[in-house]
Amino acid sequence: MSGLRTCTAILMLAASPAATFTNATDQQLHFFATCAGRLSALMEHQWTYDTAAVDRTTAQRSAMIDLVTAVMPKDEGRAVLLMRVEAKHAQSRLLRRATINRDPNDAAWALSRARSMMTECTSVLMAPGTQ
């Protein structure tokens, strides 16, 4: 595994909602905060590369932030912001790597991984019109 791929794998593990926490509320909070960060990265990426999808992503991000707010203890604001920023950074790196890359195999891997992570997040949201 190349150094760049190893570094990216470490970033993704650090931002993964599957991290071990002490209770279910902590797990939910980490999952929702991580997903809010990932959706923020996707939204910003779409401003440049996929403007047709921005509205859907913005709505999903807003819904995820509502979930973060619903489970976040009052004194956890800084920790939650850090989770969101770290996840956003990791997702941004993947999206950039998928978009601006001279190695087509590596770009395809990055795109596949970014999509997989987004699917993990958006799968917990209700589809529009089903609420």
Task: Pull the structure tokens for residue 110.
Answer: 């990055």
pLDDT tens per residue across span 46-89: 999 888 899 999 999 999 999 999 999 989 999 999 999 999 99
Distances (CA, A) of 15 to 36, 59, 69, 110: 11, 22, 19, 15
Q: Which tokens go with 14?
A: 């650090």
List of residues 6+ apart from 101 with CB closer than 8 A? 107, 110
Give the pLDDT confidence score for residue 111 in this predicted structure: 96
pLDDT tens-digit profile of 6-40?
Answer: 344 334 444 444 444 467 878 999 999 999 999 99
Establish how many alpha carbons lie within 13 A of residue 43's alpha carbon, considering only the half-sphere containing its beta carbon. 16
Torsion of CA 11, 90, 13, 6, to 10 degrees: -40
pLDDT at 51 (0 to 100): 87
Average pLDDT, integer, range 88-102 = 96
Cβ neighbours of 74 (radius 10 Å): 5
More confident residue, 86 or 128: 86
Task: Give the C-alpha separation, 42 to 36, whole Å.
Answer: 10
List the domain boundaries for the chain: 3-15+23-122
pTM score = 0.78
